[in-house]
Structure 1
Amino acid sequence: MSGKLFLVPTPIGNLEDITFRAVRILKEADVILAEDTRTSAPLLKHFGIDKKVFAHHQHNEHKASSEIVRFLKEGKKIALISDAGTPAISDPGFFLVREALKNGLEIECLPGATAFVPALVNSGLPSDRFTFEGFLPVKKGRQTRLRELSEEERTMIFYESPHRLLKTLEEFINVFGEDRHISVSRELTKVFEETVRGTITDVKQHFETNVLKGEFVICLAGKS
């Protein structure tokens, strides 16, 4: 009898955001795959989860997926978690899901934490229609993608790192105009959670003189 692959969302900050079901699945799994075992160790320890944990990240997922498929065919229950949030959303997971489906294996994705949903909902920007862009290309294709998005009418959502935030906001001013409305959230669900809203120029000025720490979620208004 084939096993099952479980995609298990983990908290993006506050440990209370994990679900009862997620904890149960992690306790029942034969094996846990983690993006970074060092990052996941405190979470698993906090909830009393003592299981075999193996690293599954962007550098080994292609090679490791065939072995994982074999384990699933042997009847193993395998849970995949990322460092924070839902696997396969700007994190490893897509390739393994595709390989499992190719082999006719069962997959179950649990609902749970993902950073862009609370950022979008509290941004004040239209949330009925939106496009999730994740991380923009760092170099090749970055300007091309920004130009393509210049005509986008839906709210756009991006992930960005602290050291690239100001550069990205400057690029947004050049492409979308300084008066386009934007909302930038950081440290979501954590003690120093912050959301700054206004024009791109206003928000850029704020972060030029304030803390640049944590992972950032940017919600940008679409073209009027």
Structure 2
Amino acid sequence: MEPVIEIDQLTKTYIMGQTKVHALRGVDLLINTNEYVALMGPSGSGKSTLMNLLGCLDTPTLGNYKLDGKDVSVMDDTELANIRNEKIGFVFQTFNLLPRQSTLDNVALPLVYAGVPRKEREARAHEVLASVGLGDRTDHKPNELSGGQRQRVAIARALVNRPAIILADEPTGNLDTKTSIEIMEIFEKIQADGNTVIIVTHEPDIAEHAHRIVRLRDGSVETDELNAEIRRASDPEHRYNQA
């Protein structure tokens, strides 16, 4: 597999008055194309800062970040915006939908910014809404949808630009258990279809859906390991014993 994300000694320090806050302390991370990774950690561990850097929403204080072989750690705001539009789809805990716009218009919005003609925008929005099970909800406003349906709309919006990477920040934080499982099944399908999926969560049961779990603490990577189920399945001795 080819690496899509290469991080070398990534550091982020915030200056707050006379105080320096070290959010990330020399993080090294390699994520291959089509991996499904969960970033975990307690409050203050650096996972949100890392996600902002991975999503090109912020720049590091020190270190290097290569996305698809391009060093994005030295790019300016315009270059970072272009990378976000081309390479990354975002899903947030609070959905971030426009309340007065229809489901179809919310999903098509990134294509407006990309300059895609209206007919193609609508066709692609219809396509991704159908892929998340909302092909019959295109005219509904967000307040006419359940929380799970709104998150499906947000996922469809993240997919509409056909990005290589999906970044999801606590995507089940506002959902009940049953709906959370349904949403995680959608992410599993997205990964199976070829996308790289990175989820930030503090919930162990949500992280277990990923194939690899990276745990952060105090701005550093504490552990980086395969999901226990994946690890058992890839262990020849375990497979032999099961047989």
TM-score bin (small chain): under 0.3
Structure with greater proportional strand content: 2
Query: What's the TM-score, normalizing by structure 2?
Result: 0.23
Structure of greater relative contact order (alpha carbons < 8 Å, 6+ residues apart):
2
Query: What's the TM-score, normalizing by structure 1?
Result: 0.24
